[in-house]
Amino acid sequence: MAREQWGSKIGVIMAVAGSAIGLGNFLRFPGQVAQHGGGAFMIPYFIALLLLGLPLMWIEWTIGRFGGGFGHSTAPGMFHSLWEKNRFIKYFGVIGIFGPIVIALYYIYIESWLLAYSFFALTGSYETCATSEMMLSFLRGYQGLEQNQYFSSLWPAYSFFLLTFALNGVILYFGVQRGIEQVCKYGVPLLLILAMILLARVFLLGTPDPAQPENSVLGGLGFIWNPDWSALTRAKVWLAAAGQVFFTLSCGIGVILTYASYLGRNDDVALSGLTAASANEFAEVVLGGSLVIPAAFAFFGASTMTVIAQSGVFNLGFVTMPLVLQKIAHGNFFGFIWFLLLFIAGVTSSISLAQPAIAFLEDEFNLNRRQSVLGLMTAIFLFSQPAIFFLGRGVVDEMDFWGGSFFLVLFATVETILFGWVFGMDRAWSELHTGSDITIPRFYRWIIKYVTPLFLLLILGSWLFQDWLPVLFCQGVPEENLPYIIGTRLMLFTLFAGLALMVRWSWQRRAVNSGGGYDD
Amino acid sequence: MTINGWIFMGISWTAIIGLFVFCLRRTLKL
């Protein structure tokens, strides 16, 4: 079966950028900056971007294109191609399929909230919610966490989930070039335009209440950007900056590997990786940093803003922003734009999460596109039900820990060591520059080989001891939620083991077909 | 917003917009 290919260079760049631009750019980033020293946060942020983010981008683009040359679109085959003598490395590559599936299990559901809220904004469904408490109650009612005057069942949320799920399935069914590429080629510029429209509106807010001149958009920008130099002496701030850079670029998930595998042998990866990263940074620093917090600050002021910034990304997006936009003229329209842009950002990310598993089924089991999409979407649909029905039991947080945090950093650390040390820096550098449209400064050889892996090991170690061990041992989990957490872990373990078995079968089949050339 | 705030925002925006425009121009061969 012929492998799929991208139709254009800008198409693959938009697809990778679309995968990276998500809720984190518009909601997580401004909260992180405001909490960790304002403008001073940007010093560790930019250092992490140069030493961690860009090298990881180039590593993943290069490994992806290299693996694609051997007919592999996913990490098990790619890692095997990088380290042929090691029999077990392909099983480690399973993370590159497992991680994105786990994220997709809850991400598509959250994405469906955005579609629902776009609809609610247009129809004025939450117009009666005049306070944060009422808006939060609206959200909790929608999520099925409580029955209230706004919602009496989970069915509205489930209907929007089915709609969003079907949309993802249809896009994926059309394939890499006619589905993913077309959606991202138009979707990413559209979401950037929508964000710029909203940005212009937010900047025009000025000082909404002349009686409180300190509550202004400029004050909000100051809340984000005024530097607190003492933050630079705190290790936590440096780790937070590295974490933000790492998560925002969608590295360590396996998606970039798969997308890059559809490139030709002499297609550029150096400039493409940089362009995708810069598009993501534009969406994050310029647009994301100027929307939610300045708007909320202008209406609520500094003290309330601090509470809001620390209350979590969902509250910023689903509670604060609709409240703010309701207060301005044509608020329904701007509310619609806000949720639509987040929904588009969500769709371009969720389709990327499904692609590695689809590619795995196509490459290693010779299934056609239709069979692969049907098989994967059925599995995602079944496994995502706990995230919908047991949201209040910590199931989504548990999935996010494994798929969206723990395995991501582990995977990135191993692939970086594989690239710079096992594959070898000379070959790696030459591979990175094959067909390249730019020349990367030579000191990046040194950074990729020494600095990036050390940086990742440092992050892995600190997070493991500071944040992850309590989660691993379920510390602080209410007793009534424990069965749900254990159930989720069992489900994820079954999924991982199933994928590992599939890798084993696939390699055995290849070994038979190639007369023993593929060792197991 | 303080002067330092303006400086940080200005430098960050300039660096990122500059990089984005440079990359797009090279990619699209403009």
What is the C-alpha separation between A68 and A81, in angstroms, rounded? 10
Residue A457 inside a domain? The answer is yes
Indicate which of B23, B28, B29, B30 best probes the interface with A, i.e. most A CBs within 10 Å of its own CB. B23
pLDDT per position as a tens digit, A303-336: 777 777 677 777 888 988 899 898 888 889 999 9
Contact A227 B5 (CB under 8 A): yes
Q: How far apart are the first and last CA of chain A?
A: 24
Q: Which domain holds residue A136?
A: 9-513
Q: Kindly identify which residue of chain B lies nearest to residue A229, measuring between CA atoms.
A: B4
What interface predicted TM-score (ipTM) does this complex get? 0.95
pTM passes above 0.90: yes
Say what the pLDDT of residue A515 is.
Answer: 61
Say what the pLDDT of residue A520 is.
Answer: 46
Half-sphere exposure of A255 (CA within 13 A, CB side): 32
Say what the pLDDT of residue A225 is.
Answer: 86
Query: Taking Cα atoms as reference points, which of A306, A308, A310 lies closest to residue A322?
Result: A308
Residue in B1, B17, B20 nearest the CB of A225? B1
Query: Coil, strand or helix: which one is A477?
Result: coil
Asked if A40 reaches chain B (Cβ–Cβ under 8 Å), the answer is: yes
Contact A226 B4 (CB under 8 A): yes
Q: How far apart are the first and last CA of chain B?
A: 37
Contact A42 B17 (CB under 8 A): no
Query: How many separate domains does chain A show?
Result: 1
Backbone φ, ψ for residue A83 (5° rounding): -135, 75
DSSP string covering A124-135: TTTTT--SHHHH
Q: Which residues of B touch A (CB under 8 A)?
A: 1-2, 4-9, 12-13, 15-17, 19-20, 22-24, 26-28
Q: Which residues of B touch A225 (CB under 8 A)?
A: 1, 5-6, 8-9
Give helix B3-28 / helix A270-281 axis angle, nearest 10°: 140
Contact A286 B13 (CB under 8 A): yes
Residue A469 inside a domain? The answer is yes
CB A76 within 8 A of CB A503: yes
Half-sphere exposure of B16 (CA within 13 A, CB side): 24
CB A237 within 8 A of CB A14: no
Contact B6 A10 (CB under 8 A): no
Backbone φ, ψ for residue A73 (5° rounding): -110, 0
CATH of the domain at A156: 1.20.1740
Long-range Cβ pairs for the range A339-343 (8 Å, 24+): A339/A114, A339/A115, A339/A117, A339/A118, A339/A121, A340/A114, A340/A118, A340/A194, A341/A26, A341/A191, A341/A194, A341/A195, A341/A198, A342/A23, A342/A26, A342/A114, A342/A317, A343/A111, A343/A114, A343/A115, A343/A118
Residue A352 inside a domain? The answer is yes
Residues of chain A below pLDDT 70: 1, 309, 515-520
pLDDT per position as a tens digit, A200-248: 999 998 888 888 888 899 988 988 888 888 888 888 888 888 889 988 9
Say what the pLDDT of residue A517 is.
Answer: 47
pLDDT per position as a tens digit, A89-120: 999 999 999 999 999 999 999 999 999 999 99
Residue A231 inside a domain? The answer is yes
Cα distance from A278 to chain B (closest Cα, Å)?
Answer: 5
Say what the pLDDT of residue A1 is.
Answer: 64
Instruction: Kindly give the residue spans of alpha helices, DSSP state H, lying in A434-473.
Output: 443-446, 452-463, 469-472
For chain A, the maximum distance between any two Cα atoms, rounded to a whole number of angstroms, is 82
Percent of chain A exceeding pLDDT 70 equals 98
Residue A4 inside a domain? The answer is no
Say what the pLDDT of residue A315 is.
Answer: 81
Number of neighbouring beta carbons within 10 Å of residue A124? 12
CB A63 within 8 A of CB A257: yes
Look-up: residue for tokens 């090691």? A86
CB A305 within 8 A of CB A27: no
Give helix A369-389 / helix A331-365 axis angle, nearest 10°: 130
Residue A520 inside a domain? The answer is no
- Tokens for A202, please give them: 């937010």
Cα distance from B30 to chain A (closest Cα, Å)?
Answer: 13
What is the C-alpha separation between A335 and A189, in angstroms, rounded? 19
Residues of chain B below pLDDT 70: none
Say what the pLDDT of residue A332 is.
Answer: 92
What is the C-alpha separation between A115 and A120, in angstroms, rounded? 9
Say what the pLDDT of residue A206 is.
Answer: 87
What is the C-alpha separation between A245 and A28, in angstroms, rounded? 11
Give helix A54-68 / helix A270-281 axis angle, nearest 10°: 130
Residue in B1, B27, B28 nearest the CB of A221? B1
- HEC profile of A135-190: HHHHHHHHCCCCCCCCCCCCHHHHHHHHHHHHHHHHHHHCHHHHHHHHHHHHHHHH
Cα distance from B16 to chain A (closest Cα, Å)?
Answer: 6
- Tokens for A455, please give them: 């940086």
Half-sphere exposure of A314 (CA within 13 A, CB side): 12
What is the C-alpha separation between A346 and A355, in angstroms, rounded? 15
Instruction: Kindly give the residue spans of alpha helices, DSSP state H, lying in A268-330.
Output: 270-281, 292-310, 313-315, 321-326
What is the C-alpha separation between A483 and A333, in angstroms, rounded? 43
Asked if A189 reaches chain B (Cβ–Cβ under 8 Å), the answer is: no
What is the C-alpha separation between A79 and A76, in angstroms, rounded? 5
Contact B24 A227 (CB under 8 A): no
Residue A1 inside a domain? The answer is no
CB A492 within 8 A of CB A399: yes
Q: Which residues of B touch A42 (CB under 8 A)?
A: 8, 12
CA distances from A490 to A33, A356, A395 (A): 36, 22, 12
What is the C-alpha separation between A373 and A138, in angstroms, rounded? 35
What is the C-alpha separation between A321 and A335, in angstroms, rounded? 8
CA angle, A72 then A76 then A80, to 5°: 85
Q: Which residues of A touch B18 (CB under 8 A)?
A: none
Residue A111 inside a domain? The answer is yes
- Tokens for A434, please give them: 């094959």
Look-up: residue for tokens 């964000």? A195
Query: Taking Cα atoms as reference points, which of A141, A122, A124 lies closest to residue A133?
Result: A141
What is the C-alpha separation between A484 and A315, in angstroms, rounded? 24
